[in-house]
Structure 1
Amino acid sequence: MIRHFEFFTAERRLVQHNALSNLKDTRLGIEGTHWLRKLLQNSAKEPATAALGGIPIGLKAAIEKEL
């Protein structure tokens, strides 16, 4: 993972917003670790996760919302 990835891409203006249809017939690589960390930081904190172990209960819903 690139440290300060968001700063790196913003500084070089590498982030673009376009229609999803532009990706048709395209192979796309996603930095999974960065994406999951960002998703977990933005989701509501679940205090029982540490006590119960495992993944946060709302993680599945958060991933489905993103996709």
Structure 2
Amino acid sequence: MPLFVLTAFDKNGEKLLDETFEAANEEEAKKIGEQKLREHHCYDKTHRCTTSSGKLILFHR
């Protein structure tokens, strides 16, 4: 299964979340990433989710 990296930041640049997870495809990774962001109360913070090759699949600023 492909690896994805989810990262969220506070306005001052502090890293709030930095997690690697597996998903079957990019669509599933988006859903898992959004769920993790909500669980950690980071959904409205600056965040990104990338594939292991660096492709950006989820971003909010």
Structure number with the higher strand fraction is 2
- TM-score (normalised: structure 2): 0.25
TM-score under structure 1 normalisation? Answer: 0.23
Rg larger in 1 or in 2? 1
